[in-house]
Chain A
């Protein structure tokens, strides 16, 4: 048995070949490989789905339209009309995270979204975008999101710092949520799966029976749950991106 039972092993990034950009080490790693594969999968699926659009849609075209309608629906519900230019961005974010999470469900495939660098950067990008869009749209008035209207001045002294802290914690919570969910789910799967051989080694025949009857159904259940989490986390990230964008686009609250 050469398979490592270390639950953390699956998150190790391997270097495939060296690459330098000036002083920066941008080596092509397994993480990069799976990002490229994920993006190619999404683009390939969309290309197939939209290769021949017909009035009565084919299954794939229907899928693409539902996919688009789902994202456009979120943006419309949260941001209304001003959110329309951000539909492609939210669509890309959702698709990128969802495909990365799904790829992670295959054994030996690296889950790129289980790395805080990736999810944290995406979160920082989202929040930076909110700030940039907010300043472009509202100028100095964007700062009003920290000062709720209709609150007495004395309370503002307390509320404003809270609002600022809440705003600053957004990228951390946004990035951490996705990272922790993917990491935790995969660790749990690996640990539960590890019970089967451990029980077999420790208790012999009875252990094998227990592993098969008790632990395997649990692993199947957790795997199903992980598929749900894979979708849910992509959805939550897209949804929160819209909600945060609303600070920049919507009316001051």
Chain B
């Protein structure tokens, strides 16, 4: 199977320093790859290399798909721009009305269709951003801290949605997240970044890696041992255990 995107020893150099360097990774259909790491560790820069927003100053980036959708970490809509949710849904493609409604329903904001974007709360806007990316039916979905500002229940629901999307859309997902719990329980491949790749692999492998424990501290690392025993069963959405 061909990878959707492949980074080979890629790095970005800006203002006389390397923002991130030596990143190699591959992303396939139906796979969720997560980038974790402290602030300023190059997570967003790596995502931007994958999306071709910035060019790699060394190494190679190979995209095998042009159909990408992006949920940026931060987006400010200028107040001078009168933009409703329905206009925003269509900014980079033309999506038919029923698909727009469907995507907005998935993220729980279908009632906001004709509201002006600048009047939405932070969490509502994040939901719209995710819905827009999903509605594009991309091959590769890049989510940069997609649930920031979303309420607690919403966060769980949205992470569940992201988990399902890779299967229903048959797409690859690159996720940047600080939610270690979701990362460790639901993603296929974890990359721990701090200017370079500290360690990577399956969640259970990364959780035991000394580099990971050093970066995130004993406390976070130990909460993960909690997750180890989750691997012998899984929960359905109502909380019941399904083997």
The reply to whether chain A is a binding partner of chain B is no
Residues of A within 8 A of B (CB): none
Residues of B within 8 A of A (CB): none
